Structure 1
Amino acid sequence: MIVTESQIYQVNPDLRVSRNSDRVVIEAAANTYSLSDDALWPFISEVMSTNEELTAPNSSDDLTESDIDRLQSAFEILAESEILVSSERTRWPDTIVSLANRSGGLVTFEDIAERLKTASVTIVDRSGSSVVEHLKSLLKLYPIAEPQVVAELPTDALADLMLVVASDEHDPILDAANSMALDSEIRVWAPVTPARGGRFRVGPWFYPNQSACYKCLRLRAGSTIREPVLADIERNGQSAPSRQDRFDSQPAMTSMMVSILADAMLTHLALDGAQGQAPVGGFVDVTYGLEGFEMSNHRVLRVPRCPECSPTSGTGYPQIWYHEE
C-alpha cells in the first residue's frame, strides 16, 4: 500500500480489536488478523478512540524523517489489517463502509454511494399504511434517495426497486403488480404484507423476466398442499378487501420486519449480488413460537411454462405436479 499526501483514513465500524499479552487480534467483517508487535497497541488504542478522520504524516509536519516513516508504516499496518479504511477524497458514512464490508470489498465505496444516491424507489400504498412511514424513517439513516410513495400501481414504471404494500398474500394488487412489472422497466420488486399468526415474510425479490414471478410463487405453494380446495385457493384465491391497517396489530413484529426489509432494500440496490448478498428471487421467513425466533432463507424457482412469465407457456407436456393443466 502506498501512502499519498491526500490520503485520509477513518476507523472501520465493523470490527473488534483485543489485546492479550503481546498479541493484538483484529476481528474484522470477514477476516481475522493477529499482530505480534505489542508496541503498536498504544497507537491502535488512540486511533480507535477517535471519531475524526485521520491523515498520514508528511514532510510538512513538525516531525523528523524517522518519525514520519514509523507513523506511515503504522498507518499501513492498520489499513492492511482493516482497522482503518482509506480514501483520497472525503470521509465516508459508516453505513457505506459497512455495506462495502459485506460485499467483501468487491463493491467500492464510490459505487455504493452513487447507487444509493441515484436509486429510484417506488412504494405503492393504497391505504396510507403506517408501515410506509416506519420504513421511510428508517431509510433516512442511510444516504439513499427518498422513495416515491404512490396510491396506485404505475402504468409505466422505471423504478430500480418497487415495493407493493398489500393486506395479505392473496391481495389482488399483488397479481396486478406482477403482470405490470413483467411489462415494465422495473429492475426488482417485492410484496410487503403484515405479520400473521406469529410469522412474517420479507420478499420474495422478483426480477421481472429474469427470476421466477409472483404467479410462480403461488403455483409452487399450491402444489405442496394436498387438500384440493386449499391448494386451489393458494394458487388462485383473491382475498377480501380490508379497511384495517393490519401492520398495526403486531407492532413489535412489524418493527422487526421493517428492519429486515430496509436492510434487504439496501443490499439489492447497492451490492447487486456481491458475496451472495441480495439473491434473485430470495425471501426470508421469520416465525415466532414457543422455541423463540426461527429465520429461514428460501428462493423461488420459475415454474416451467408459467402462464405469466415463462416464454414456453402453452407448449410441451403438463408437469406432474402442475395441477392446473
Structure 2
Amino acid sequence: MPEAPDSEGPDRDCPERPLLNPTVTPLCRDGRTLHLVANPMNGPSYTLRDEDDERVLAKLPVLLDGTRRVENIARELEYDDVDALRSAIEALYDRNLVLDGASVERPSVVGYAALKPTMLEERARDGIEATVLVIGPERPGAYVLNDLRDYGVSNVRASGAAANALDRDDGLAPATDPLADEVERAGFVVALERLPGDARLREVNEFAVEAETPLLVATIDRTAGTVGPTIVPNQTACYDCYRTRLRANASDPDRFDAYLSGGADPETGPLEAFERIIASYATLACLNYLLSGAGLTVGSQLTFDFFEWSIESNDVLKLPRCPCCSRVELGHQRFVELEDVWEPEQ
C-alpha cells in the first residue's frame, strides 16, 4: 500500500482526474520508493513508499496524466485498495505535486508556479490578470509577447517595434497612447533593448519611477546580454543607479558614454538564438514577479556571456542621491543637528 508523510498543505479532496505537476520529476529506483523531485540540487521534495511490496509506484507517475480517474488508475495498476491510493494522491494534491487535471486546460503560469502554495494564493490569480507592457525591438519583443500569452497572462500590450509582432487575433493590443501614460497604467513593464544605445531605457525608467510601476530591463549586445534589474520604485535601484555605477567601474568613462549614446547596427546584431535566451529569461523573471512579488532579478542582474557560455548574478545597489529615484526637493535641509530635534530639559 502506498504510504506518504503527513501533508503540510491545506486539506483538499482528491482531484477527479489527477495530473502530475509538470515541474516535478519522478524518480523510482526499486519499485517500492517514489521520489518526487522539484530541484535536483535540493533533493527529493516528497517521497511515497510501498510498505506492502506490491511495486505499483513505478507505474504510477505515467498514469497521473490528467485524463484518468482514480478508480481507473487503480485498475490499470491491478491494485485493489482504491481508498489507500486515493489517500496517497490527496497527500500529493495538498502539496501541489499533483494538480486537478479536469481544471487545467493547457500548461499555464498557474501550473508553472503550482509547486509553491504561496504562489497559488490570490496574488497569483491577480498577477496573471495584470497588464504587462512590452517595449523593445520586434524579434525579442515578439518572443516575450508570445510567451506571456502562452502562459496565460491575459492583458499584454506592446510599444515600439515590438508592436509590429502582434497577432490581433490573439487579443494582444498595441500601445496607442503616449508612452508615459501606457507605463502609468501598466501593472508591469518589460523593456528590452539592443545595445549600443540606451536612450529608450532611460526614458522608460524615468516614466516607471514617476508612476511607481515595476520595470524589468533586459539588454543584448552581440555575444552578451543582461536580464535585470527588476526595478521596484522607491525600494530598489533604478536603471540610472545601475548605469551610473557601471560607468564608475569603466576603465574609460568617456568611451563608455559614447558607446551607450550610439545606436545598434542591424548588420552586426546578435544571433537570433541569443535573443531567444534573453527573452525567455525576461519572461520568467516577469512571471515570477507577478506571482510572488519577488524574484532573482529584483535588485539584481543576470549577465550572460555567450562567447564563454557563462552566467553570473550581481546585486544592483541604489545610488545615494540618484537624480532619478532619489530626488531631493529644493529647500530640504539635508543635515540636521541634535539641537534641531531635541531640547534638553532645563
TM-score above 0.5, yes or no: yes
Number of the residue aligned with 1:163: 190
Q: C-alpha distance in 2, partners of 1:205/1:98?
A: 20
Number of the residue aligned with 2:139: 130
Number of the residue aligned with 2:171: none
Structure 2 gaps of 5+ residues are: 1-6, 40-44, 72-79, 161-176, 336-346
Contact 2:196/2:221 (8 A) holds in 1: no
Give deviations 1:92-149, integer Å, cap 9, x for gaps. 6444222232xx3222166434421x12111234xx5222223223333211125211
Equivalent in 37, 56, 59 of residue 42 of structure 1: 56
Matched, 1:304 2:320: yes
Number of the residue aligned with 2:243: 218
Equivalent in 108, 124, 132 of residue 121 of structure 1: 132
Structure 1 gaps of 5+ residues are: 58-65, 318-325
Identity %: 19
Number of the residue aligned with 1:69: 83
SS of residue paired to 2:221:
coil
Post-superposition shift, 1:279?
Answer: 4.3
Question: Given the superposition, is the C-alpha separation of residues 55 and 300 from structure 1 closer, same or farther in structure 2, using an over 3 Å criterion?
Answer: same
Number of the residue aligned with 1:322: none
Q: C-alpha distance in 2, partners of 1:55/1:82?
A: 18
Number of the residue aligned with 1:231: 253
Give deviations 1:199-255, integer Å, cap 9, x for gaps. 111121111222111111112112223x4xx225546975134573865x4112111
Number of the residue aligned with 1:271: 292
SS of residue paired to 1:203:
strand
Matched, 1:105 2:117: yes
Number of the residue aligned with 2:227: 202
Contact 2:31/2:56 (8 A) holds in 1: no
Which has the higher mean CA deviation after the structures are superposed, 251-260 or 7-16?
Answer: 7-16
The TM-score, its normalising length taken from structure 2, stands at: 0.71
Question: Given the superposition, is the C-alpha separation of residues 41 and 82 from structure 1 closer, same or farther in structure 2, using an over 3 Å criterion?
Answer: farther
Number of the residue aligned with 2:215: 189
Post-superposition shift, 1:302?
Answer: 0.5
Over aligned residues, Cα RMSD in angstroms? 3.4
Equivalent in 311, 330, 337 of residue 295 of structure 1: 311
Number of the residue aligned with 1:150: 159
Which has the higher mean CA deviation after the structures are superposed, 9-18 or 307-316?
Answer: 307-316
Number of the residue aligned with 2:301: 283
Post-superposition shift, 1:309?
Answer: 1.2
Q: C-alpha distance in 1, partners of 2:195/2:320?
A: 26
What code does the residue aligned with 2:104 have?
Answer: R
What code does the residue aligned with 1:73 have?
Answer: S
SS of residue paired to 1:147:
strand
SS of residue paired to 1:13:
coil
The TM-score, its normalising length taken from structure 1, stands at: 0.75
Contact 1:306/1:313 (8 A) holds in 2: no
Equivalent in 72, 82, 99 of residue 85 of structure 1: 99
Q: C-alpha distance in 1, partners of 2:36/2:141?
A: 36
Which structure features the higher share of helix residues? 2
SS of residue paired to 2:312:
strand
SS of residue paired to 1:70:
helix
What code does the residue aligned with 1:176 have?
Answer: E
Number of the residue aligned with 2:277: 256
Q: C-alpha distance in 2, partners of 1:288/1:55?
A: 47
Q: How many residues align?
A: 292
